[in-house]
Amino acid sequence: MAKNILCLSGPNLNLLGSREPDKYGTATLGAIEQKLGVQAAMAGSKLTCFQSNSESQLVDRIQQAAQQSVDFILINPAAYTHTSVAIRDALAAVAIPFVEIHLTHIRAREPFRHRSYFSDLAVGVVSGLGPQSYELALSYALDHAGKD
Ligand code: DQA
């Protein structure tokens, strides 16, 4: 059965490509999402991508996912990883399985990035592999979405 996967990206990820390229690389979010779209289409699944700098918009999008029969969420909460009880609670409320994604290896960065409000609820975390963090998370979702 076709899987319905939602990929969420948080604040400042719209600047990928030009944002601190030494840390985040030179691929734009558009390029990363386009590649994910091809990967999902080849597996016969539907992928919807959404980026926002706003915590409330991310919470709203997660709440909508429950009504839209989303099977699996991929989320890079960006800076909200380390601060957002609201996004964590939204994910817990909809109870849709999700993978937490980071381009950088957050545990190897500043101490304030070591805490995540998401990891203990996530099916898994892919961190530090650049754009491949997204691709590997999608690959997992394509294999496992819809199965319990
Ligand atoms: C990030 C890591 C976060 O600490 C940071 O605030 C980001 C991006 C990553 O993908 O490596 O904006 O989530």
Q: Tell me what pLDDT residue 65 has.
A: 98
Measured by CA distance, the residue closest to atom 8 of ligand 1 is 78
CB 12 less than 6 A from any atom of ligand 1: yes
* Contact of 125 with 116, CB cutoff 8 Å: yes
Instruction: Provide the phi-psi class of 43: left if phi over 0, else alpha when psi is between -120 and 50, else beta.
Output: alpha
Q: What is the pLDDT of residues 50-66, one digit of tens each?
A: 999 999 999 999 999 99
Query: What is the model's pTM?
Result: 0.96
Q: Tell me what pLDDT residue 146 has.
A: 74
Q: Tell me what pLDDT residue 147 has.
A: 66
Residues of the chain with pLDDT under 70: 1, 147-148
Q: Tell me what pLDDT residue 148 has.
A: 54
Q: Tell me what pLDDT residue 145 has.
A: 77
Give the separation between CA 26 and CA 6, rounded to whole angstroms.
23
